[in-house]
Amino acid sequence: MNCKSITGIALLRASRPNFLILSLLCAWLGIVLAQGQGVRPGFLESALVLTGALLAHAAVNLLNEYEDFRSGLDLRTARTRFSGGSGALPTRPQAASYVAVSAYGCVVLTAVIGVFFIKRQGLALLGLGGVGMALVMGYTRWATRSPWVCLLAPGVGFGPVMLLGSVLALGGKLDPAVVVVAVVVMCLASELLLLNQLPDIEADRSVGRRHLAIAHGARVAAQGVVVLLVSAYSIIAVAIMMEGLLLSAGLALIPLPGALWVARALSQTVKAYAPLTPILGANVATILATLGLLGLGLSLAE
């Protein structure tokens, strides 16, 4: 295998493709919600919404990999399949500059797509786009230094920014269903990142990070995970009962037993200082299944 191929593999690993599914699901939910309002986006518009979400998420991941390599965090982290980064740069340090360039390239392409939609839909998208860019560029370097900003940043990025931005970009509007789904996504995205930070507490502390698990301890962070997880399903159930979501959205409640298992197992595991990897995997599967089923349920109602 030649040098270019190895660098390409390092770039792909650094983008963390297995986690990019989350951004595609969020953008798809935005498309489905817009269609539920009677909007019929063309193939180009839908493809650009999905591409923009994918590029923004990839940019965050690539910047995170690059910054963690530069700070030395990559060499101190005990990686799992779901936390601690990809490990691409410690095994291929020559690819660091390519990862940085690719990250900024993704930022530029995301901005170009944003400008395209701003010209079509107006300046209402500009504020969301600005917040999105700030989150992409500042998450690793600044957001991880503040417990509450670090907790909220992923949720705001995937929920209000990415999902609502997708709806508005396609000509949709803010309605109760959009608000409910955006809040659900916000809870699940913040929960996912918070749980994935638990195995990295000591390594993150050593490079000056100060997320919730560092500032208040693993047990408090675990309680936060449970609150966010339970809140997401409670919001869906209440919204269906109050007719903020159609009954078909109840498909999203199918993974609830998995979420309850994660909540129970996490509480026991944190107390026993046991490995978290099985819980991390179950949590990722539960969240992706929930969002996928929510989108399916909403699409069936059209």
**pLDDT one digit per residue (tens) for the chain, 302 residues:** 555 566 778 888 888 888 899 999 999 999 999 999 999 999 999 999 999 999 999 999 999 999 988 888 877 877 777 776 677 888 888 888 999 999 999 999 999 999 999 999 988 899 999 999 999 999 888 898 999 999 999 999 999 999 999 999 999 999 999 999 999 999 999 999 999 999 888 888 888 889 999 999 999 999 999 999 999 999 999 999 998 898 999 999 999 999 999 999 998 888 656 678 899 999 999 999 999 999 999 998 65
Structure tokens at 243: 């007719």
Q: Provide the pLDDT for residue 273.
A: 61
Q: Provide the pLDDT for residue 254.
A: 97
